[in-house]
Chain A
């Protein structure tokens, strides 16, 4: 399945995932303490520079990932235009953009396998409650069954269209949930037959 990791290889791809996440955590924490527009603008430009360093295509992709934020930017902008306090609005927007852009940058430059490795290390203290093998199995099952259930939904939609001219909509969800329940029973039996989930 497709991940959000960028296919454009950048220098940041070669950094280790753990330190990158630690720097991100520090950066995000700092952003919420800074309230000077100048420094926040500087932070956003710095993040933008890191994107540009991966090339124009990479930068464009990064900007596209911020698209869900524009409505919020618009709402905050209008709000502060109305209260005539544009500086405060600027602080909010700059901080939000810098925080989300930096987090997206780490996601775009870290492979799923590296992220899972970090997760395994972080989850190690939880081992008595949550054995690492069980967590890994759960993650693998979800990744495997998303395409399976998507296909099942597709079949259900086709069957619906063969019977009705109207759009299927929410009516497919009950059979899809039933399919998920049945699959869960069968996979559980299969796991048990093969020695359990460990």
Chain B
């Protein structure tokens, strides 16, 4: 129990810290940072449930008014802005990434990279694009056009998530919770 709690809390803190790593702004205003890499890692390292809970805890602290999102953003405003859909999608993305990691027997790199692509790109974009379509009052395909700008960065991040998960699996095989207590069936 304590282990789950501390892992969830420490990875929530890790997402916040990765948001402080220098960033590049894209033309559409959604910054490319290591933060979404942190979201993917929560799923691939902690597994579906704990990963999603870590992301939820992080979002809770953002909502409470801590400037933890990349670029020092935070507070309640970010949850009604154009990128709110991405925030809603974060925990689901971590869950799906973790689920793929748990349910496949692929080596860590491939499992984590696939999980990051399906969860961190596929699922996350569905939420993010729907959110932009809603707030900016555009059709889904128009919003998807805006979202496409992030695709190259996110593909790079999915590969990095695979490499990082592999590095963690090698350094601390027992610490990879997503694999350790994965159900056999």
Contact = CB atoms under 8 A, between A and B. Distances in A.
A183 interface: yes
B8 interface: yes
- The size class of the interface chain B forms with chain A is 35 or more
Contacts of A69: 29, 81-82
Contact of B60 (A139, A173, A188): A139
B136 A149 contact: no
A28 B80 contact: yes
Interface stretch (B11-19, B88-96, B102-110, B122-130): B11-19
Contacts of B142: 79
A137 B76 contact: no
B20 A150 contact: yes
B59 to A, nearest CB: 11
Interface in A74-121: 75-76, 79, 88, 91-92, 96, 99-101, 103-104, 106-108, 110, 112, 115-116, 119
B3 A185 contact: yes
A188 B37 contact: no
Given A3-B67, A107-B76, A180-B11, A188 B17 contact: no
Task: Tell me if B's interface is mostly helix, strand, loop or mixed.
Answer: helix
A119 B61 CA distance: 11
A26 interface: no
Task: Tell me if A's interface is mostly helix, strand, loop or mixed.
Answer: helix
Contacts of A71: 27-29
A147 B63 CA distance: 19
B79 to A, nearest CB: 7
Interface-centre pick from B18, B28, B58 (highest chain A CB count, 10 A): B18
B10 interface: yes
Contacts of A173: 18, 34, 37, 41, 160, 164
Interface of B: 1-3, 5-14, 16-18, 20-21, 27-29, 34, 37, 41, 45, 57-58, 60-61, 64-68, 71, 73-83, 135-138, 142, 146, 160, 163-164, 167-168, 171-172, 175
Interface of A: 1-5, 24, 28, 65-66, 68-72, 75-76, 79, 88, 91-92, 96, 99-101, 103-104, 106-108, 110, 112, 115-116, 119, 134, 137-139, 141-143, 145-146, 148-150, 153, 170, 173-174, 176-178, 180-185, 187-189, 191-192, 196-197
Contact of B9 (A103, A141, A177, A178): A141
Contact of B172 (A5, A88, A99, A181): A181
A141 B28 contact: no
Contacts of B163: 174
B171 to A, nearest CB: 6
26 contacts: A3-B66, A4-B75, A71-B28, A71-B29, A75-B28, A79-B138, A88-B137, A99-B80, A99-B81, A103-B76, A104-B75, A107-B65, A107-B75, A107-B77, A110-B65, A112-B66, A115-B65, A138-B12, A145-B9, A149-B10, A170-B34, A170-B160, A173-B164, A177-B164, A178-B168, A182-B172
A146 B68 contact: yes
Contacts of A145: 9-10, 13
B57 A139 contact: yes
Given A69-B82, A170-B34, A192-B2, A177 B61 contact: no
Contact of A92 (B7, B16, B137, B164): B137
A194 B15 CA distance: 28
Contact of A188 (B2, B28, B76, B82): B2
A141 to B, nearest CB: 4
